[in-house]
Amino acid sequence: METQAHIPVLPEPVGSPAARIALITETWPPEVNGVAHTLSNLARELIAGGDPVLVIRPRQPGDGSADNLDRRGWQECLIPGLPIPRYPGLRFGLPAIRQLKQNLADFDAQAVYVATQGPLGWAAVTAARQLGLPVVSGFHTNFQQYLGHYGFGLLKQAAWAYLRRFHRRSNLTLVPTEAQGKALTQDGFGPTAMLGRGVDCRLFSPARRDRRLRQAWGVGDKEQVLLHVGRLAPEKNPELAIRAFEAMAPVFPGLKLVFVGDGPLRDSLQAMCPQAHFAGMRTGTDLARHYASADLLLVPSLSETFGNVVLEGMASGLAVCAFNYAAAEQYIRHHKHGFLAPYGDEYSFLDRVEQALIHRSIYGGSGMAARANVLRLEWPTIAARFRQQLLRPGTTVMRGSMREGNAHG
């Protein structure tokens, strides 16, 4: 497997021409999820570096009637879509191959990145191949793991076979961690390369700790706050955060549990733990304030491909308690930056939460070491690596070659 360590980011030559980059995705802000967050940051940095960017995505309710938009320096082409079952507000794009080919040709794309594996993503790979454009895909979400949480566990094997076929049709698959790349390569997904994630360390900072917010939660300076950030859905395993709180509350007086996020389990979680504070969806500086005002971030999910919340919590000066995989495995050294439990071992997870609370009570926690470990993960650096992967020989074409190819049929 190729990784960032094996492929250094070289400085662009003076006068290096801009690259015309098309991003195809079935989710985009204002939708709140890791894929939309990652792609919007990459698009912003590519534009800042002078590269024209085309975003092709399903139409969202607030888009109006136009099919082509020009926003914040990038172009957007909108595809018809349908709602995703059990995920209100999200849509999957329809496989509009003819429209995709026209959009890519009109834009004169040099590099195509397909971020999602739904009908729109499959059609985008097909369109790019028919135009003679090499295409890079991204493995952002473990959808096959979600199926068991929603009563479709019998479809896991078929879903995995579909994903394997999808990614084998692209020239390269970008993965967020080395472990993910190794697993996909061994399972026949074709060539992979690692592209980590960035974090805005100016936004997410211990300096945003807010005493008044803590008072609103009912805690002072001495009490500790457990924080869970993410969708309140079965695949995120938020019930384990409640079990951890209930196990620790008798030992640590004044302990508080705060949930940031929303989802289908919110009502049942509130009934399960009425003493927890449910803050709902938060974004931007408000989200950063919630991170910094807590003391320990709990990440009980077992279905992440990466887990952006890990980096956001670390940047905010929080120790993180998580299972030892994905972003936690990549960036946390146990006892130095946070506390790691073996994957799926919930008893060990509860033990790590207790260790973290004791450690913070005695030593003041490991949050500053955690922040120091992610300061290098700025989005401009990640975007430069992303650009380099898209423009590597064999994954791009020279300007004009698409039109020349079309002239020959």
Domain limits, the chain: 4-198+378-407, 206-374
206-374, which class in CATH? alpha beta
Q: How would residue 145 be classed by pLDDT, with cut points 50, 70 and 90?
A: low
Task: Map tokens 């922040």 to a residue.
Answer: 371
Question: What letter would DSSP give residue 277?
Answer: E
Mean pLDDT of 2-19: 48
H helix or E strand, kind and range, residue 46: helix 34-48
pLDDT for the residue 196:
92
Q: Does 206-374 match 4-198+378-407 at the fold level?
A: yes
Check: CB of residue 353 under 8 Å from CB of residue 319. no
Mean pLDDT of 149-165: 72
User: Which one, of 311, 299, 308, 275, lies nearest residue 349 by Cα?
Assistant: 299
**Least confident window among 43-52, 115-124, 246-255, 391-400:** 391-400
Q: How would residue 407 be classed by pLDDT, with cut points 50, 70 and 90?
A: very low
Q: How would residue 60 be classed by pLDDT, with cut points 50, 70 and 90?
A: confident
pLDDT for the residue 94:
78
CA dihedral 157, 161, 163, 165 (to 10 degrees): 180
pLDDT for the residue 171:
94
User: Which one, of 161, 36, 169, lies nearest residue 91 by Cα?
Assistant: 36
23 contact partners, CB below 8 Å, separation of at least 6 = 39, 42, 43, 53, 54, 55, 56, 113, 115
Whether residue 30 is preceded by a cis peptide bond, meaning omega within 30 degrees of 0, is: yes
The reply to whether CATH 3.40.50.10300 applies to domain 4-198+378-407 is no
Q: How would residue 15 be classed by pLDDT, with cut points 50, 70 and 90?
A: very low
**Least confident window among 137-146, 262-271, 289-298:** 137-146
Tell me the one-letter amino acid at 126: T
> Rounded to an integer, what distance in angstroms lies between the CA atom of residue 334 and that of residue 354?
14
* φ, ψ of residue 390 in degrees (nearest 5): -65, -30
Check: CB of residue 162 under 8 Å from CB of residue 183. no
Cα 54 versus chain centre, distance: 20
Mean pLDDT of 60-68: 66
Percent of the chain with pLDDT over 90: 66
Task: Map tokens 């859905």 to a residue.
Answer: 233
Question: What letter would DSSP give residue 395?
Answer: S
Mean pLDDT of 209-225: 96
pLDDT for the residue 279:
98
pLDDT for the residue 389:
94
Q: Render pLDDT for 359-381 as a digit per residue (tens, 0 to 9).
A: 887 666 667 889 999 999 999 99
